[in-house]
Each structure stands twice: as structure tokens, then as C-alpha cells.
Amino acid sequence: MPERPTVMSPQRTGHRTILGVAALLVGAVLCGVFAFVALRGHPTRAADFGTVPTTEPSSSDPTRAAPARDSPPSWPSTAPADSGPSGPADPSPPEELSVPRLGLRAPVDPVGVDDDGLTEVPPDPDRVGWYRFSPEPGSPEGSSVVVGHVDAEGRGLGVLNGLNEVRRGDRVVIARRDGSAVAYRVVARRTVGKEDLAGSGAFRRGGPPVLTLITCAGPYLPDNGGYQNNLVVTAVEASE
């Protein structure tokens, strides 16, 4: 008696049902994700949030180093040899940036200013740069600035592209060369026009200590200098 090929054992039929339902579910989920991603459109990403602590004292006044005293004048007779400020309280430079929830991790290089007066950015988008004229992370005041490419020619997306997924309260950790670490939590994300970044307070040297992560944000206009905005994520030191 020839076996009918379409007859299957109940077990196998059950497997098929499960597989079929599973496949449909996967398909449905993928459709959902597709719709979500596609409809959310680009370059609009998750919205900005939070407010940035920016109460910089009147440090733009270079004469503030002088303590205000009442007249008539009485000069101190034997001042220290040099009237420069004392160095930072904690001078160990940063070595690694990480955002554990996002699995984001990048080595940190000190960077300066290029010939055009712009911040240098490490060419390797898997590395980030600490603007070495900003306070070291862990300093008592000011904005410690870390920059990184969002993408780079021939190298794909940069590690700081992950900042698009950052959420309020995310933990950010800066490991320092001396083996210690400074922990932060994200309080704000802003999309700032390229022209407005310098005046945005991201580079303030005084005021509350914050970590400021900067990369690029769309829209991308190839004929108009590329990215039009910077993505600026601000984190405050976490009390741990």
C-alpha cells in the first residue's frame, strides 16, 4: 500500500503549526518595525529633551580674577610669584567613554583646534576626542567636551551615532588614565545649528560641572557643508 505523502503524523503537523504561527509573528513584527522606522522618517530622530545646566558665572570678564575690595586700596605686600590660577583639582585625563545601556564604548584621544579654528575630531569614528582645552572630566566646574564623528568616509557609522538612542537618565562613564572613573547621567539632548554651537554654552569653562558629548546631526545637505546641526548630549555627575 503506497504511502500518501500528504499524510503526516500529528506531531509533525503540530510542529508545522507552531513554525507557521511563529513565522507569521516574526513577519508581523518585522512589518511593524519596518512601518515604524519608515514612517518615523528621516532625519527626524527621537526628540530632544531636558534642560542644560548653564549658570556660568561672569567668567567672560577677565578681570574677575581680582577680588573686589573696598577702597581705599591696600595692596597685599607679598603676593605669590605668579598670579595665575591654581591647576585643576583633578588633572587625570579621560581614556575611555562608555554608555553601558547602549553598549557604546570608545577610546578617548585628546584633541585641540585645527587651522580653521574648529575642534579637531579623531578621523577614526570608532574613537572620540576630548577637547583638551575644556576641563578634564571630574573637574569642579565647566563643561568637559567629548566629540566624535557620526559617520566617516569609508568607515561607516561612528560610535557617537548611538547618541541618537540616548535617553534621559542613561549612565555615562568616563574612565580616566589614573584608573579612576567619573559617572554621569544624561539630563538633556539638544539639536543645535552648527553656527550656534559656539555660543550655546557647550564650551563654557565655568559653572556646574557637566559632560558634553557632541556629534553631528541631520539634515545632511551635501551641497551646503553636509550636516546642518550638532547633536549635543549633556550629562551631570551622578551622585554615587
Residue 179 as a binder of another protein (CB under 8 A): the answer is: no
User: Per CB under 8 A, does 2 bind another protein?
Assistant: no
Q: Residue 114 or residue 180: which is nearer to another protein going by CB?
A: 114
The neighbouring-strand residues paired with 232 are 190, 214
Q: Please, which residue, 1 or 68, has the CB nearer to another protein? A: 68
113 touching another protein, by CB under 8 A: yes
Would you count residue 203 as binding another protein (CB under 8 A)? yes
- Phi first, then psi, for residue 31 (nearest 5°) are -60, -45
Give the integer Cα–Cα distance in Å for 179 and 177. Answer: 5
- Residue 91 as a binder of another protein (CB under 8 A): the answer is no
Q: Residue 38, class by beta-carbon neighbours within 10 Å (0-12 exposed, 13-18 middle, 19+ buried)?
A: exposed
- Give the binding range for another protein (CB under 8 A) out of 47-55, 90-98, 149-157, 180-188: 149-157
- Cβ atoms within 10 Å of 108's Cβ, excluding its own: 22
150 near another protein, judged by CB under 8 A: yes
The nearest distance, CB 96 to another protein, in angstroms, is 18
Q: Does 119 bind another protein (CB under 8 A)?
A: yes
Distance CA 60, CA 124 (A): 34
Find the binder of another protein among 104, 109, 149, 170 (CB under 8 A).
149
Q: What share of the chain is helix, strand, coil (3-state, %, to 5)?
A: 20, 30, 50
Please work out the total of residues on this chain that contact another protein, with binding judged by CB under 8 A. 97
> Segment near another protein (CB under 8 A), from 10-18, 94-102, 169-177, 181-189?
10-18
Q: Does 224 bind another protein (CB under 8 A)?
A: no
Quick one: residue 109, left, alpha or beta (phi over 0 = left, psi -120 to 50 = alpha)? beta
| Residue 17 interacting with another protein (CB under 8 A) | yes
Give the span between the Cα atoms of 94 and 222, in whole angstroms.
Answer: 34
Contact status, residue 196 vs residue 153, Cβ threshold 8 Å: no
Nearer to another protein, 36 or 239 (CB): 36
Q: Which stretch binds another protein (CB under 8 A): 47-55, 92-100, 150-158, 171-179?
A: 150-158
